[in-house]
Chains A and B, each alone.
Chain A
């Protein structure tokens, strides 16, 4: 069950090293703080899950944020009602979002192509609207679901356990360790590696092969007597559960759940991440998730002051010109930069950043051979 081919094992090891060493290699990039590294790991899990559906079956779901949101709400409710321990929260997050995925997938998968995308989008918007206004007693609307000091927390009360941070708000714990800051990051990192491993197994399995068959020609699969429905549905549910896990982790590292997480822009974001990195590849979506999160969090925080400091070495006139031009692309203009990058990738590297890397490597290798 744990068998991996030799290259896959190497890939897993390298991947684990990269993920666990984030605090070191992200430092020069200005991103080595727990808040962002947690997001890196969490959105990578989300992207890996999404890629199992989109990358393998070719079904483009435009409503995956719904499962992320469901996972978050479930986890926060578990914190409120049961216990501050994260285990039940995450298990429930995965299960409940799996059930949601089963229902939504059952209906959406009756159609393919653009109709499928629209259906999932419609379902996700429905979930969003429900969370945003109809179900406000459960979701607390736009404000987001927050913990309070006098939540019941049945299990904690029954066990008489004093939670961490007893005087203030309780924080989520894993066997007594508070899950904010670096411990939270390592939890997400370990789960990300686990998610990567599962994705590897799925990619290499007959199940994964069937999914790829569906992507290349579903009609032919059906004509050869192969019932594709259970396969696509399974892929949909699995990727929904990954999204639920990611949503649960968002709530674990920062115990709040807001309706914005279910918005169509979030669903679009995950599609962007996957395409940016490389659809159907193992590592692509992860890289895409990291790039987009990096832009969203680091580029949006650059202001004129920082630019002025950066370009301080230039002569005054030139510095002003460069700062004025550059400031349009950072801070509030980070969407612009991301948009340009996305256009560039789609036009020149339809296979995403991974394809760019492969092309680069091929060129180097090609040159090496010529020399020989």
Chain B
């Protein structure tokens, strides 16, 4: 057993094989000798590739697939003009691609799973040569991919992510978010809750157990407690649960008269109808009608939840029926291409792709630090919901926030939400220091 048969010759032979293999492998280590060397430079490869990394399977698949369609539309518009290219102001894109070259794309399935999301992003960056990665429907994915992109020196335009952490404690220099966040939802929804349900309420939270749920619970709790509401309990539920009855039963005897569902996607599509079937909304508690609030929801979820969504108050980043030119241009283009109105997940993805392309055009270069500087502090309009600012201190977009309510008498399958109010951009602007975090350096890492 202890005989050492690997003699000197054998050892040398093995080492030789290993060394030869190492030498034969492609030499990608050559580091940049000049300043504007960066990961996947299109100036070098001659190709502009965007990476669309969205969930196509898993809890948030539906929104992910919509987002992917919107990205494909964005590519079409960047390359051929049309859509929001007619409404975005200021606009540098000419409708002939970016810096005169057509944009291509690659796509990947994040499986609503952070590990798979990072795998997908790495494939796009390392194999496909993506200059920019975008897309997400959960904050878990967004935060994981964002930190990966910072390490790789590739810009990440977050898709749908509503957690405060994305541009708060986990913000990154290479990550940008157009979508609104939980804090803004809280600020926007509070006055409407006060006017609809009064200032003397007892709230019970059911919260999806991950970064987004936590920050939304925190923000909504703070906003409602500022109104004078009392928080009875906050209960965390695992993501992707089908049956919420074990969580709904305790609500009945908790003394609460409002149920706040911090759920998104399939979770909300399951939990809200179950709560309604439980008879919660027909109940009286503390001498008041029992109410359910879903602080953040989307058309897709409203459609999924069906009847249950009628009268429910929540917030949205965007709605396809808005009157402004940007919204109408996008809704029209999307409707023509796919036959249905776009969701907010589709909208934010589309806008992010256009904004990135426009920033490159303005910067006149793909060099990430230049593009980042072109996006930071950029003030623009014409992408839906009024003038918008990309704040430089945390890469969060500031714009009006919509307060929506489930439509009692929908005229069509898609007419499920009514916009009942808006919180102005000034109202939802906050001090970036309240969430901490650090953006990190501009200098790109080489991938």
Kindly list chain B residues whose C-beta atoms are within 8 Å of the C-beta of A143.
114, 139-140, 143-144, 165, 210-211
Asked if B282 is at the interface of the complex by the 8 Å CB criterion, the answer is no
Task: Answer yes or no: A303 CB below 8 A from chain B CBs.
Answer: yes
Determine the distance from Cα of A32 to Cα of B239 in the docked complex, in whole angstroms: 34
Q: How large is the interface on A (under 10, 10 to 19, 20 to 34, 35 or more residues)?
A: 35 or more
Which of these, A1, A16, A34, A301, contacts B120 with CB under 8 Å?
A301
Given contacts A16-B17, A146-B143, A331-B56, contact A1 B29 (CB under 8 A): no
Q: Does A39 contact B (CB under 8 A)?
A: yes
Are B122 and A1 in contact (CB-based, < 8 A)? no
CB neighbours of B5 from chain A (8 A): 2-4
Q: Is the CB–CB distance between A24 and B25 below 8 Å?
A: yes
Q: By the criterion CB–CB under 8 Å, are B22 and A20 in contact?
A: yes
Taking the closest CB of chain B, its distance from the CB of A332, in whole angstroms, is: 4
CA A260 to CA B10, docked complex, whole Å: 43
- Are A39 and B17 touching (Cβ within 8 A)? no
Residues of B within 8 A of A129 (CB): 238
Interface residue? B427 (CB, 8 A): no
Q: Does any Cβ of A come within 8 Å of B222's Cβ?
A: no
B26 at interface by CB-CB < 8 Å:
yes
Which residues does chain B contribute within 8 Å of A39, judged by CB atoms?
Answer: 119
Selected contact of B18 from candidates A16, A30, A300, CB within 8 Å: A16
- On whether the beta carbons of B4 and A258 are closer than 8 Å, the reply is no
With a cutoff of 8 Å between Cβ atoms, the chain A residues found around residue B6 in the complex are 2
Contact A17 B17 (CB under 8 A): yes
Question: Cβ of B209 and Cβ of A142 under 8 Å apart?
Answer: yes
The CA-CA distance from A297 to B170 in the complex, in Å, is 27
Q: Which of A167, A168, A297 has the most CB of B within 10 A?
A: A168
A111 CB within 8 Å of chain B: no
B109 part of interface (Cβ distance < 8 Å): yes
- Given known contacts A141-B210, A168-B440, A297-B119, is B113 in contact with A20 (CB within 8 Å)? no
Query: Does A324 lie at the interface of the complex (its beta carbon under 8 Å from any beta carbon of B)?
Result: no
Interface members, chain B 60-116 (any A CB < 8 Å): 61, 65, 105-109, 113-116
Task: Closest B residue to A72 by CB, please name it.
Answer: B115
Stretch with Cβ within 8 A of B (4 or more), from A94-102, A180-188, A224-232: A180-188
Chain A residue at minimum C-beta to C-beta distance from B27: A182
Stretch of B145-153, B176-184, B195-203, B415-423 on the interface side: B145-153
- Asked whether any CB of chain A lies closer than 8 Å to the CB of B441, the reply is yes
A residues near B170, Cβ cutoff 8 Å:
146
| A190-213 interface bits toward B, Cβ cutoff 8 Å, 1 = contact, 0 = none | 000000000000000000000000
How many B residues, CB 8 Å from partner?
61
Residues of B within 8 A of A332 (CB): 56-57, 61, 65, 109
- Contact residue among B2, B28, B119, B438 (Cβ-Cβ distance under 8 Å from A181): B28
A181 to B125, CA, bound (A): 11
Contact with A along B8-32 (1 / 0, CB 8 A): 0010001001100110111011000
Given contact pairs A3-B5, A142-B239, A143-B140, A23 touches B210 in the complex (Cβ within 8 A): no
A149 located at the interface, meaning its Cβ lies under 8 Å from any Cβ of chain B in the complex: yes
- Decide if A88 is an interface residue (CB 8 Å cutoff): no
In the complex, the chain A residue whose C-beta lies closest to that of B61 is A332
Shortest CB-to-CB span from A281 to chain B, Å, is: 23
For the complex formed, measure the closest distance between the CB of B117 and the CB atoms of chain A, giving whole angstroms: 10
Query: Which residue of chain A lies nearest to B57 when distances are taken between CB atoms in the complex?
Result: A332
Contact B18 A169 (CB under 8 A): no
8 A Cβ contacts from A2-42 to B: 2-4, 9, 13, 16-17, 20-21, 23-24, 30-36, 39
Is B144 a contact of A35 with CB atoms below 8 Å?
Answer: no
Write the chain A residue with the least CB distance to B139.
A143
B44 within 8 A of A: no
A300 and B151 form a contact (CB under 8 A): no
Does B24 lie within 8 Å of A301, measured CB to CB?
no
Bound-complex Cα distance A182 to B120 (A): 18
Chain A residues in the interface with B (C-beta under 8 A): 1-4, 9, 13, 16-17, 20-21, 23-24, 30-36, 39, 129, 132-133, 136, 141-144, 146, 149, 165, 167-169, 171, 180-182, 186, 254, 256, 258, 260-261, 296-297, 300-301, 303, 305, 331-332, 334-335
| 7 additional A-B residue pairs with CB within 8 Å, beyond A180-B151, A296-B119 | A9-B10, A20-B21, A133-B236, A141-B209, A186-B22, A300-B120, A301-B123
Query: Can you list 27 pairs linking A and B with CB atoms under 8 Å apart?
Result: A1-B4, A2-B6, A3-B1, A4-B5, A16-B17, A20-B18, A20-B22, A24-B24, A33-B126, A35-B119, A35-B126, A129-B238, A141-B210, A142-B209, A143-B139, A143-B211, A144-B114, A256-B118, A258-B113, A297-B120, A301-B109, A303-B106, A303-B107, A332-B57, A332-B65, A332-B109, A334-B109
User: Closest 8 CB pairs between A and B?
Assistant: A142-B210, A35-B122, A20-B21, A33-B126, A33-B127, A332-B56, A167-B441, A143-B211
